[in-house]
Structure 1
């Protein structure tokens, strides 16, 4: 409404346009007041040259009513007061006077409007009743118009503030929705990155080991080539590639399909652990498995987190434990939580760049409110211990402490296999410890 009437800061921010609009308004009000002075003549004498000069001058401050509302009103009073004191037609400056009062009310606080309106009414009634009862009665009729325009101005101001607050709330809600959408996109990108890392690191590691086996068989004794061993190694490579291609396709469908849920498809669970063990064994690693929990007793999200943790732990063991190492995988329920323990008796390697596998395991655990501890085992080698609650919890969605600090515990230890820093993390607030 303020925008439609042109009052207040909601009109326009172009100073030239404001000046042009208010100049046109001043001219229009002058024409209306001049018509009243020439035709109606409800009281007082007709304006002479001085009266017309004062009447025209009273309209000039209207040009600056939005730049300086109160100063414009005082300029009007400075011209209208002598106009009325000289006894000229009292109805002539009606339109410009009411416009000035409305401008003061719509651009200022209600208290200022009350003070200005009360001052105008008080002065007018004092002067008019001093001139006689008839003049005072006529002034009382005009008082109603003054009060009406001030109340209208205050209403327009309050209503404009209400509309502005509604718009602000809508904009704030829109910003909240955009931030939530960005957060969801970031979470989905992080999830895809973890899936791709787990899939590719595991598959490429197995392919590398299986290729090394085939190359070793070919190079050891070409004259007595063990074709069966070579064929088995190549078959294992082929099977690993097919499995990796299928999982990669499922993961990439998330990026293509945005209409059917989250596009994840069935999440891998504990029923997929035997396949991980078989793949590690095909790479020449001795693996023992102990499962003391049924897959039906584990929530889907917890089973998926356990699957990925076992997958990453086996990948690290195949890469870093060294030849002849053995790995033990244990899964059991204890006190309402699934405990995942993967240990090896390997010797590791002397160095290597840090990777994302350990951080990924921690994020998997945190997503279901669990914890992961990694480090040197009690009898050497490397150990991974994850505790994942079986009951539903609110996952900790705070950023990874690898990028920013949070309430998790981070201890700097060196992986004996040279994979960089080992992070021992505890779940943040809201998670089951």
Structure 2
């Protein structure tokens, strides 16, 4: 198959070169005939010389430099030995074009200057005098036009190649950007689902443990715990429905772009943890104001995930939430009095599984801590976490207040 393809390409090149040679002969014949009449020489001489000059063009695609040398030789011989009237520079110009189009601009100009000098010198030797000046100028113009045409074609090809490369690069960049946005959206939805599910399921599990513990001894309190399980599960369903709506109706401009709980809902969030048995104390310093939407949501989710980790892994301990409103940033600190091992509160190291409502319940995967870091980074802030020297665990976050409007 490759051999057939190679032969087919060679045939196409040969046919193209043959067509170029024939066209050169046809276009130059009227000039040769007119020159023979002016000088009173037989018309067969210039036509025969023209045919000989066109023969090397049959190989111009395969050996352009050799073809240029051959056409130059034929033209010089016609000038010096036979003094044929009006030899046309078309064949040499075509051969020069074939060389120039396959080389760089500097090489093309140098080769063109040398070829022009050779022909002009031969023409001056053969036909000196001012009356033949137009012939010398015609030679210079013809060969110069060949070099200029090759330069224009080369520049055009380079421009097209550059445009094609930019289009391909843009296509690759567009695909990479699409994949990146899909990944970011997937991670964002995963964070939302993790925060919603982990928080509510942790509370439901804790409240179910309380109900189970008090069912026989204090049925009234157990009934209250069951009511809280009902309310918590309803809230979980509502948030899940809103989050899944991001996927179903992402192209609907009227649909909500994101579930948007914020620090305005912080008291209700802390109450839900208190009902599960976690002692949470809020503290606020500075002058609260209206926060950017992403900062408001990120602050809420960080506090939610930090307290969820505390309740899940540290059990019934005391926790504190400190909000420090500053001029350029909101600082958040969530600390507890539980175990000081980083893995326990961060969810990176499993805690001992137990069914006692006063202990940690279940193991962690670390997704919560990863999600908090990603949220803080997406909001332009930072987040650090680690054990407290006096015991327990502490999470610090600093979120910028770009575009904050004073309350």
Once the two structures are superposed, the pairs formed by residues 14-413 of structure 1 within 5 Å of their partners are 18-35=9-26, 37=29, 40-41=32-33, 42-43=35-36, 46-47=44-45, 54-55=52-53, 57-62=55-60, 65=61, 67-82=62-77, 87=82, 94-133=89-128, 136-137=132-133, 138-218=135-215, 221=216, 226-260=218-252, 263-265=256-258, 267-292=260-285, 296-323=289-316, 325-334=317-326, 336-347=328-339, 349-350=351-352, 352-392=363-403
Shift of 1:182: 3.4
Could you tell me how far apart the structure 2 residues matched to 1:32 and 1:371 are?
74
In the alignment, what sits opposite 2:358?
A: none
SS state at 1:297 partner = coil
Structure 1 residue 123 displacement after superposition: 1.6
Q: TM-score, normalised by structure 2?
A: 0.77
Q: Does the Cα contact within 8 Å between 1:58 and 1:79 map onto a contact in 2?
A: no
Point out the structure with the larger helix share: 2
Please list every run of 5 or more consecutive structure 1 residues that lacks an aligned counterpart in the other structure. Answer: 1-13, 394-433
Question: Residue 15 of structure 2 aligns to a residue in which SS?
Answer: helix
1:55 is displaced (CA, Å) by 4.3
C-alpha distance in 2 between matches for 1:33 and 1:329: 90
After superposition, the Cα gap between the structure-2 partners of 1:244 and 1:238, relative to the gap in structure 1 and judged at 3 Å, is same
User: Secondary structure at the residue paired with 1:346?
Assistant: coil
TM-score when scaled to structure 1? 0.73
CA distance in 1, matches of 2:219, 2:25: 114
Pair 1:50–1:329, CA change in 2 (3 A) = closer
Q: Are the equivalent residues in 2 in contact too, given 1:113–1:150 (CA < 8 A)?
A: yes
Q: Aligned partners of 1:215 and 1:75: how far apart in 2?
A: 105
Indicate if the aligned counterparts of 2:379 and 2:399 stay in contact, CA closer than 8 A: yes
Q: Aligned-pair RMSD on alpha carbons? A: 3.4
Q: The residue matched to 2:330 in structure 1 has which SS? A: strand
Q: 1:301 to 1:79 in 2, by over 3 A?
A: same
- In the alignment, is the contact (CA less than 8 A) between 2:123 and 2:136 conserved in 1? yes
Q: Please state how far the C-alpha of 1:202 moved relative to its aligned partner.
A: 0.9
The separation in 1 between residues aligned to 2:326 and 2:141, in whole angstroms, is 83
Count residues with an aligned counterpart.
Answer: 371
The answer for unaligned runs of 5 or more in structure 2 is: 345-350, 354-362
* Structure 2 Cα separation of the partners of residues 38 and 328 of structure 1: 102
Deviations 1:213-265 (A, max 9, x none): 233334xx4xx6x4433432332222222211221222222223333469524
**Residues 320 and 334 of structure 2 are in contact (CA less than 8 Å); yes or no, is this contact kept in structure 1?**
yes
> Do 2:318 and 2:336's aligned partners in 1 also have CA atoms closer than 8 Å?
yes
